[in-house]
Amino acid sequence: MKEKIRRAVGLLLPVLCFMALYQTGFAAESDVDLSQITDPINTVYTIFAAIISAVGALYALANFISMLSAIQSHDMTQQISSGIKFGISILIAIGPWVLQIIL
C-alpha cells in the first residue's frame, strides 16, 4: 500500500505542480485597477527590504568596529580587508533602496 502511495505521489506531484503554476496571463486594459495585485507585492518587498537593511546595518556596525581595531594595527592586509568588509556591509544595508531607485 505504501509503495502505491509513493508511486502515485511520484507521478501526480509534478502534474499538480505544473497545473498549479501554469497560468495564462492576459494583458490588462488601461482602465483596470491593478492596485489589488501590486499593493501586497510592494508590502512584501518593503518588509524584506527592511529586514535586509537591518541585518546589513548590524553587519556594518560589527565591521566598523573591526575596521577601527584594524587601523590600530600596522598590518596593511588587515586594514584593507576590514575596509572592504565594511564597504560591502554598507552596500548590503542600502542595497534594497538602491534597487528600488534603479528599477
Other C-beta atoms closer than 10 Å to the C-beta of 93 total 19
Extents of the domains making up the chain = 35-102
pLDDT of residue 33: 73
Q: How many helices (H) and strands (E) does the chain have?
A: 3, 0
C-alpha distance across the termini of the chain, in Å: 53
Mind listing the pLDDT tens digit for each residue in 34-92?
A: 778 888 888 888 898 899 999 999 999 999 999 999 988 888 999 999 999 999 999 98
In order of 13, 23, 59, 62, the CA distances from 16 in angstroms are 5, 13, 42, 46
pLDDT of residue 27: 58
Cα–Cα distance, 94 to 52 (Å, whole number) = 9
pLDDT range class, residue 25, cuts 50, 70, 90: low
Q: Of the candidates 91, 74, 71, which has an alpha carbon nearest to the alpha carbon of residue 82?
A: 71
